[in-house]
Structure 1
């Protein structure tokens, strides 16, 4: 009897487990259908290659940082070459090393007290900077050496780019000199470098280096002395010839140095000091940082249609900062397509394979993107009148606005201001090229008020004050869109790289979130470091009913209602500050701050209402 009962219990348990297993398997078979975005559906059809190359985000922050450039530039201009620097380096040992460098160089490298002081100053204050510069040099120096070797120019000239730009192709001096080799606008044009609204080839490593090589060759034929060639590169050949005359006809750099402009007096010594630190970095405990991007690991591809870095980053699964590093000559993060001309994009070789294998699909996605407007499809479907397509609803929700072109404007900045596409601007105004005349009035169909702040990512959702919410829904749909922002006040010693590192983001994202056009940030400025967009099922607080996009626009805060403090930086003017704030004029700033003339000083705090 007991055995029979035990058998029944075992049978019951077995049948229950079998039933549970069948139920589980049946549940596994029923999966909710996941709707893919157009981007995901395109990428799911991509042909994959086995190669993979991931770039360390912290390293990318270092690559696009301008702090080394600012520090080195300041050092070269302010170091007192006649004041001894207390740093452990015996003079006799330094003389021996300089003699060894001189033996294998066409330059006349000789010891003097000024050179020793600069070398010791760099060792005392810039060891970490040179560690980072040596990592960057692994990418740029092979480019320089290949070009110089073809033209029979001393390979040591490569160190000049460290002095000029700290190996940053986006470096811009106070005078407007741009790129690795710091060409002025006129000089760039003189050496056939293209400079327009989209492209500045002064920032192109290959083309700018070729122009630099051409300049060096011409100047050596004039002076027949490489030190004087370097001096002429910094101050111009005219100042060098004046210094020669004032010195009584002497032609040695150290003989005419005191007759050269003050900056040039420290220029050649800084070049030699840089060469010394690269040659003897191990002896001074300078360990180069890891270089994950090397030139031979990249290649170029011709671009047939206009495409943005954002679209490429989404499609190829790579950071925009890497695209910016490899393609610094594209000013607006867009590769344009010119009729009859081919523009090229540099990518890591594994991404080249992905691009070439899926080129047609990539251009199809770009074309699709150009048709997508700022208003989301889901919202457009809600507010669309019956019988109208979503596309028609989007167009009907837009207001026509007019904008008068001002000095410094281009289609890219205007499109960004109104959150529309450049191709649409051209279509609405019958423009065949990207050129626009000063004073021309442009027609803009936009559902965004230019005076209101607009979130960049995603473009369809308006910017919200910190820790507040704005709901967009129809009467029968209670989906709520919430945006939470995290802000940070810039402290002394901060730069975009350190802030990005602190909050786990990138410099490119910080610049996009805060509409920054450069890496310079003022002390005390409030930065948005992240925005979190969520959909919450809650009672609607503010509704936009059918055909009432304007209801939201009335609630959007006016730019004039906000106030911000701006700390004047060296080189600022009221004009340059006004350009940072759309809709703000010089007279506005003067009125808000009680300024009668345009005299402002670094460190001065200005109130900006807008």
Structure 2
């Protein structure tokens, strides 16, 4: 029996152990089979002894003594199964310690440094930088591609942990209940972005399911999402972290909003942290949320890094990170195995295409004239914005401009938006001007004397639904950029909010 065969046997036995432990329900008021700290401590001692015995079996396998290795590993796992079952029936026993113990042994048996190179595989390197925008970070151009023949990461199926893990099970329930609409929206958004984002993960040797899990939790696939803390884009990079991974501002466009470049930067970050945390995926996900420095202080690094599920680590991270890690893992698992959870993702025709504008139009106008053809529930506004992140949705693009659209809309555009009543309706609605109410003081009859020839900045209070382009049209004398500069607003989305007071300068045409 080869070392690889022993690892397969080990994983199979783990699944049996986890299934046995997870099959014991926790019921309030049920008489416990055993109670007290003494019993729990004895079970913890068995966990430690069996872990050492399993590790000794792995050492035997690596030295070629496969027969003894198999016997030792099987005996260790048989006793672990019994101890885990007893822990579930003991009032004071912490099952989280068994979760962490199983996780550590899985990592020892499959993800340790000595097992990373599988027979017949070679390690490749990331291609040299081409000078393209977003590839300027040395981290992006020098990180190794880790060849992975994996189900989720490094040969370690997420299901091995989910079978026992309460936090991930709870996260699965959240995605399948109150957050099901969010999960469905994230999946639909991702399908249209997939052709840009998935290849970057593939080139980095990372599983697509992880990309979806992070996207679903971070932004729901909304390319222009911005958090209160300033994290931006589909994968919510902070400005400094984005710069570190090559996401800069080019011609006023913040590349954190570019789906392809943000996926590339995210993959580089994940690979960097996998190297630091010895391929411990949960620690990497936690670092992405709570900061790599904080995670290293709590869990350590390298081969000495503790499991995220260790009570010492899990109990010391923030509540946000304790919730974030299971939610990402659960979304990734549902992406891989929806059928196991009575979940059906929508079928999306997401092949990319493009149109060339026959007349000037904005994303908003295109959304109106395209209607709900092929997207019955929501129309096309979000998809068009996601596929054209550099465009202001209210700003008209000139005739001849190329707009990225799902391929199925190419014919719809020719039919309904190049000319005709829907194009005319869209243009009419877009050109509408909403009157600006007089200032309160003037409405109450308070006189204000201003020299007739003086040019003063006007003020405008933002209302719900306003955009900077719409405000510029209402006042008719300034461009979007001039108003943005006057108020310190940053491209590309020029974020404003209801109730905000803007200065509207008096500009020449």
Measured against the shorter chain, the TM-score band is 0.3 to 0.5
Provide the TM-score with structure 1 as the length reference: 0.41
Which protein has the bigger strand share?
1
Which protein has the bigger helix share?
2
Provide the TM-score with structure 2 as the length reference: 0.47
- Higher Cα Rg, which structure: 1
